[in-house]
Amino acid sequence: VLLLGLGLYQRRVRARQIIGMAISYCGVVLVFGHEITLQGADAAWGALLVFLSAVSYAVYLVYSGEMVGRLGSLRLVGLATTVACLLCILQFVVLRPLSAALVAPEVIWLSVLNATLCTAAPVLMVMMAIERIGASLAAQTGMVGPMSTILMGVVILGEPFTAWLAAGTVLVIAGIFVFTRAGR
């Protein structure tokens, strides 16, 4: 996001921001580099897909930052989620018979809960964060996500917690700390 902001909008980048970003990415690479040695040949393909996903998310954040500035976070979230909802309904109608929409009430309530807590609320929170602290800082703090996923794998799934994971997590958090202090 920081590099896209620099390239597309000529936003100023501070040295401490670059240092913080580099520290965080070193943490991610440290964990990933160790994990890839434990995986099979498909790990490189998976890594490419994750990288492309990260790039598309960065583009989304950068352009969202511009749109939040014009429309405000609430209006943008309302517009974006309405369009997404309409497209999902259209896809359902095109790909499935309408009778497939007849499901148990529990499925409907779980779907509403999922849509609210796992889609609408996070999108709103990200847009409000972008509005308040900017896309670059919102993206940098989002690096906690992959690390927390790894830690949940340790706690919930019983995956081994190694020194590599600990070091990577510390580097990501240290990078975020350096990055957030760059503006002060």
Q: How many CB atoms lie within 10 A of CB 147?
A: 21
> What is the H or E stretch that residue 29 is in?
helix 15-38
pLDDT at 43: 74
What's this model's pTM, rounded to 2 decimal places?
0.64
Structure tokens given for 68: 């939040």
Closest CA to 76 of 64, 87, 85: 64
Distances (CA, A) of 135 to 2, 157, 167: 8, 33, 27
Closest CA to 172 of 8, 68, 49, 20: 20
Distances (CA, A) of 145 to 13, 140, 149, 173: 23, 10, 6, 11
Q: How many CB atoms lie within 10 A of CB 69?
A: 14
pLDDT at 90: 97
Closest CA to 68 of 154, 133, 161, 163: 133
pLDDT tens for 116-154 read: 998 889 889 888 988 888 877 777 777 677 777 878 888
pLDDT tens for 4-18 read: 777 777 778 788 888
Residue 40 has pLDDT above 70, yes or no: no
Q: What are phi and psi of 97, to 5 degrees?
A: -70, 150
Q: What's the half-sphere exposure (Cβ side, CA atoms, 13 Å) at 124? A: 12
